[in-house]
Structure 1
Amino acid sequence: MSRKKIVTFGELLLRFSKPGQLRLTQGDLFTSKYGGSEANVAVSLATQGEDVTYITRLPDTPVGHAGAMNLAQLGVDTSEVLYGGQRIGTYYFEPAAGMRAAKVIYDRSGSAYYDLKPGMIPWRKILQDCAYFHVSGITAAISSQAAEATFEALDIADELGVTICFDINYRKNLWKYEGAQPRETLSSMLSRCDMMFGDAIEFEWLSQHKQPPFTATDSNFEMQMKEYGEWFNELHAQYPRLKNWMMGMRNIVSSNHHTLTALLWTEGELLQAPIIDIPDVIDPVGVGDAFMGGWLHAINIFSDDKQKQLNYSLAAAALKNTIPGDFNLSTENEITDVMQQYDLI
Structure 2
Amino acid sequence: MDYCSAGKMDALYSLGIPEYMGVDNELIYYYQEIQKRFPNISILYSTKREVISASSNQLVGTLWMDQTYYESQVHFMDPIMDRVGGGDAFSGGFLHGILVQKAPQEIINFATAASALKHTVHGDCNQFSESEVESFLAAGSGKIIR
* Common fold: TM-score over 0.5: yes
Structure 1 position 317 matched with structure 2 position 126: no
* 1:336/1:211 CA distance change after superposition, 3 Å: farther
Query: Partner residue of 2:144?
Result: none
Structure 2-normalised TM-score?
0.85
For residues 20-76 of structure 1, the C-alpha deviation after alignment (integer angstroms, 9 at most, x for no partner) is xxxxxxxxxxxxxxxxxxxxxxxxxxxxxxxxxxxxxxxxxxxxxxxxxxxxxxxxx
Number of residue equivalences: 139
Cα displacement (A) at 1:304: 4.7
Task: Measure the CA separation in 2 of the matches of 1:233 and 1:199.
Answer: 11
Query: Partner residue of 2:19?
Result: 210
Unaligned runs of 5+ in 1: 1-162, 164-193, 213-223
Cα displacement (A) at 1:291: 0.8
Query: Partner residue of 1:258?
Result: 57
Task: Measure the CA separation in 2 of the matches of 1:310 and 1:243.
Answer: 15
Checking the alignment, whether the CA contact within 8 Å between 2:44 and 2:63 is kept in structure 1 is yes
If you compute each CA radius of gyration, which structure gives the higher value, 1 or 2? 1
Superposed CA RMSD in Å reads 2.1
Higher relative contact order (CA 8 A, sep 6+): 2
- The equivalent position to 1:332 in structure 2, one of 121, 130, 145, is 130
Task: Measure the CA separation in 1 of the matches of 2:104 and 2:126.
Answer: 22
Cα displacement (A) at 1:225: 5.1
Query: Partner residue of 2:98?
Result: 299
Higher helix share: 2
Task: Measure the CA separation in 2 of the matches of 1:225 and 1:272.
Answer: 14
Checking the alignment, whether the CA contact within 8 Å between 1:199 and 1:288 is kept in structure 2 is no
Query: Partner residue of 1:47?
Result: none
Which letter does structure 2 place at the counterpart of 1:195? Y
Structure 1 position 226 matched with structure 2 position 25: yes
* 1:326/1:225 CA distance change after superposition, 3 Å: farther
Checking the alignment, whether the CA contact within 8 Å between 1:204 and 1:210 is kept in structure 2 is yes
Structure 1-normalised TM-score?
0.38
Which letter does structure 2 place at the counterpart of 1:245? L
Query: Partner residue of 2:4?
Result: 196
Task: Measure the CA separation in 1 of the matches of 2:20 and 2:120.
Answer: 28
Task: Measure the CA separation in 2 of the matches of 1:318 and 1:225.
Answer: 26
* 1:198/1:227 CA distance change after superposition, 3 Å: closer
Unaligned runs of 5+ in 2: 142-146
Cα displacement (A) at 1:247: 1.4
Which letter does structure 1 place at the counterpart of 2:6? G
For residues 75-104 of structure 1, the C-alpha deviation after alignment (integer angstroms, 9 at most, x for no partner) is xxxxxxxxxxxxxxxxxxxxxxxxxxxxxx
- The equivalent position to 2:40 in structure 1, one of 204, 229, 241, is 241
